Structure 1
Amino acid sequence: MAIVQEQNEGQSRSVSWRNVALVCGIVGLVVFCLAPVMWQVLTSFKVDTAIARIPNIYLPSPTQLTFDHYIDLFSRRPFLLYVFNSLFVAAAATLVALAAGAPAAYALARLKIPGERVLVAIVLIVTLFPYVLLFLGLFEVVKALGLGNNYLALIIPYAGKNLPLTILVLRSFFQQLPKDLEDSAKMDGYSTVQLLTRIILPMTVPAIVTTGILAFIFAWNEFIFALTFVTRESMKTIPVATAQIGGSSIFEIPYGPIAAATVAGTLPLVLLVLFFQRRIVQGLTAGAVKG
């Protein structure tokens, strides 16, 4: 009995230490990932003296907190207009990419197209291609078409950049759908367009939501194209407007307003991901398991 009890105690000790190490590792990883975010949030609420103080104040007191940075952000600058510009451009580019990518993905998944593997390889290469290298060519196109200071100067490049990813992701989902369902629908008189819009797309809502959110985040955060193709103040997006926030002099860096702008610009994305969290998880798991 004594030997059995000693073995049980040794096993419980090893298991408990293992659990403690696992919990500590998870907590450390969460802190490592969230520390920059929390630092940015705290900076947006600190008074200027607390921000500039050395050594840094990691846990400010209530007297060192203020809402002035957010008040100045929305009262002295048309930040709501910047939010609308980002929302409109990102939503439009995402819808265009999904509308063009879904039929192309279905065609690559179901139709016997000559050179299908070559086309898929080209789409994959375009997905991996750094979009920054397209900047000069797009700039000449925008200038030739007179699209400067126009929403189309951002919507078209964003949609084009997200189109290859949309095709690849949706193609993998279309390939996993049972083909017998499509054959039955065609026997009932459904055309290809009706089959795609009434049966296929409703069954791939998680994939569409996941792909759409990825495209939306890219368009929301893009900076170089928005900085160059749009110079009118009333059409700037959040990344450009945040980067151009200045202080009262060239020697002053307004850390508080910049932090407030980044937090306010990131909050819609966080709410979007939380709202579609279940759909995103369904899309990721469905794409990882063949049925």
Structure 2
Amino acid sequence: MNLKTKNPALYYLQRAAFYLLVLVIAFYLLAPFFWAVLTSLRSPGDLFLQPAQFIAAETTFQNYTQVFANPNFQRGLLYSLIVAVGSVLISLLIGSFAAYALGRFRFRGKQIIMYVILAVSVFPQIAVLSGLYTLISALGLYNNPVGLILTYLIFTIPFTVWVLTSFVRDIPGELEEAALVDGASPLQTLFQVLFPVMMPALVTTGLLAFINAWNEYLFALTFTSTNRTVPVVIANYSGATQFDQPWGQIMAASIVVTIPLIILVLVFQRNIVSGLTAGAVKG
């Protein structure tokens, strides 16, 4: 006998409390985003109105028009896309090879390597900033998207290797054995057999690494001066004068930058869930 039939009043009280908690959490998470959207759709004079008047004010897309007409924002979007995609592709390529080796082969020091990778992934960015700046300057890659991609690999590769290794470890070994019997080389086995099976994990790690690279601010601010990514562009957004703070345009630019991430998450949500839960339960 379940709780619904045994004590209906207590059952419905628990259900009501659960949905109330979900509603409170949803409001807490979505309220700032909702207010940012409203701010991006209001004229500068409406920003000083009372909340009720601000919500009921006239909607305008002037801020979005001005944002897309800003050449710095256009270049920032382009550089962000180049850097994020480049760092994700390199991370997935290197991370796949490393995960295959760490997840399939036994060798001395493997656990130490895994712990080092985990330690690097949680290391604070500010701790390696000065060393990376010296390295990027010595390589002549300052203010260059290539240099920014190399710095982003510091946090994208460890995360990719750690997630993919746990996934590769749980792939049935019979797949490789069948491929080897058919005469496939280790590289053919990796690209033609394991990669299709690893697709949910690849999508998950790639998307999460892309989000981290797309939103990264500290490295982009330090290693660039003009060819800056969009988070730095938004942070340095200025108005017509030094005393003018265009909050509406800043919110519009933030919404524009956030929309691609939301679309990616919605499109690949099935892959994300299956990739994050893969290997959690062994059959």
Give yes or no for TM over 0.5. yes
Give 5+ residue unaligned stretches, structure 2.
none
| Distance in 2, Cα, partners of 1:248 & 1:150 | 29
Q: Which of residues 28, 38, 55 in structure 2 aligns to 1:60?
A: 55
CA deviation profile, 1:206-265 (whole Å, cap 9, x unmatched)? 000000011101110111111121212xx2211011011112222222111110111111
Partner of residue 36, structure 1: 32
Q: Is the 8 A contact 1:89 1:154 kept in 2?
A: yes
Which sits farther off after the overlay, 128-137 or 70-79? 70-79
Distance 1:76 1:103 in 2: 41
Task: Look up the match of 1:230.
Answer: 224
Structure 1 residues 278 and 52: alpha-carbon distance in aligned structure 2, compared to 1, 3 A threshold: same
- Is 1:48 the counterpart of 2:81? The answer is no
TM-fit CA distance, 1:59: 5.6
Length-normalised TM-score, structure 2: 0.94
Segment drifting more, 72-81 vs 220-229: 72-81
Change (3 A) 1:56 1:21: same
Q: Is the 8 A contact 1:50 1:57 kept in 2?
A: no
Aligned-pair Cα RMSD in Å: 1.8
Task: Report if aligned partners of 2:46, 2:54 keep a CA contact under 8 Å in 1.
Answer: no
Residue equivalent to 2:248: 256
Q: Counterparts of 1:282 and 1:205 in 2: how far apart (Å)?
A: 10
Q: Residue 221 of structure 1 aligns with which residue?
A: 215
Quote the Cα distance in structure 2 between the aligned partners of 1:255 and 1:280.
34
Residue 271, structure 1, aligned to residue 263, structure 2: yes
Any idea what the Cα deviations from partners look like across 1:158-208, whole Å, max 9, x if unmatched? Answer: 123211111111110111011122122112111110010000111010000
Q: In structure 2, what is the Cα distance between the partners aligned to 1:263 and 1:199?
A: 40
Counting aligned pairs with the same residue, the percent is: 39
Ranges in structure 1 where 5+ consecutive residues have no aligned partner: 1-7
**Matching residue of 1:94:** 88
Determine the structure 1 residue equivalent to 2:20: 24
The aligned residue for residue 181 of structure 1 is: 175
- Counterpart CA distance in 2 for 1:58 and 1:164 is 49
| Alignment correspondent of 2:196 | 202
Aligned to 2:7: 11
Structure number, greater radius of gyration: 1
1:111 correspondence with 2:105: yes
The whole-number CA distance in structure 1 between the counterparts of 2:215 and 2:144 is 18
Secondary structure of the residue aligned to 1:288 is coil
Whole-angstrom distance in 1 between the partners of 2:210 and 2:70? 28
Q: For the residues of structure 1 that align with 2:64 and 2:280, how far apart are their CA atoms?
A: 42
Q: TM-score, normalised by structure 1?
A: 0.91
**CA–CA separation in structure 2 for the residues paired with 1:250 and 1:287:** 54
